[in-house]
Amino acid sequence: MKNLSTRKIMSWTAVLLWMGLIFSLSHQPASESGEMSSGITEIVMETVEQVLPVAEADFDQFEHIVRKNAHFFIYLILGVLVIHALRESGVQSFRRICLAVGICVLYAMSDEFHQLFIAGRSGEVRDVMIDSSGAFVGIIFYWLTGKMLRRNKQKVFHRQQVQG
């Protein structure tokens, strides 16, 4: 029983730490956030230009894509962490999915609200939608992966029963 409790605490700790990371990224003024995404965009564009020297891209448009994909993937990870923590807490399948989606959507909404109070930042409904989509994809990925692993485990167990 102690092991289960430790796993539950660790999984919720991971959720809270990831939420803290999201909060700290959202707490950056627009100038700092812009510098970070510009730096990442430059690295990605340089890599693309090395792989595809004939490719031409508009930096501003590409940076916008990088920023929106960052929203999606950060919340995809949050979705996976939240549904895992709920699983470790003993929440059952459909309820687990609904709760995980709800927690992630509410956090995305609170994150955008928080940005209303940060210099140069704004709260965007579109970003809540992107964040929520990322979380939903992460939750469904986790659920489907778990389902496939359980199915494979049952097949292996069944083969061992037949052979043994």
Q: Which domain holds residue 117?
A: 2-139
Q: Does residue 83 fall inside a structural domain?
A: yes
| Amino acid (1-letter code) at residue 4 | L
Domain assignment present for residue 98? The answer is yes
Of residues 162 and 121, more confidence is placed in 121
Query: Has residue 132 been placed in a domain?
Result: yes
Bigger pLDDT: 32 vs 115: 115
For residue 61, tell me if it sits in a domain: yes
The answer to whether the CB of 104 falls within 8 A of the CB of 132 is yes
Q: Is residue 159 part of a domain?
A: no
Listed range (13-17, 53-57, 95-99, 138-142) with the worst mean pLDDT: 53-57
**Sign of the torsion formed by the C-alpha atoms of 48, 49, 53 and 57:** positive
Q: Which H helix or E strand runs over 125?
A: helix 125-163
Helix (H, G, I), strand (E, B) or coil at 65: helix
Q: Per residue in 95-137, pLDDT tens? A: 999 999 999 999 999 999 999 998 888 889 999 999 999 999 9
Closest C-alpha to 15, from 103, 90, 96: 103
**Is pLDDT larger for residue 29 or for residue 9?**
9
pLDDT at 40: 67
pTM for the structure as a whole: 0.80
pLDDT at 32: 65
Is 151 within the bounds of a domain?
no
- Using CA atoms, how far apart are residues 72 and 108, in angstroms rounded to an integer? 11
pLDDT at 121: 85
What is the per-residue pLDDT across 35-94, written as a single tens digit (0 to 9) for each?
Answer: 666 666 676 666 766 776 666 666 667 666 777 888 899 999 999 999 999 999 999 989
C-alpha count within 13 angstroms, C-beta hemisphere, residue 98 = 5
The pLDDT of residue 33 is 61
- Say if 119 falls within a structural domain: yes
Q: How many domains does the chain have?
A: 1
Residue 53: predicted pLDDT: 67
In a domain, 150, yes or no: no
Please spell the DSSP secondary structure of 28-63, one letter per residue.
S-HHHHHHHHHHHHHHHHHHHHHH-TT----HHHHH
Q: Band the pLDDT of 13: cuts 50, 70, 90.
A: very high
56 φ, ψ (degrees, to nearest 5): -120, 135
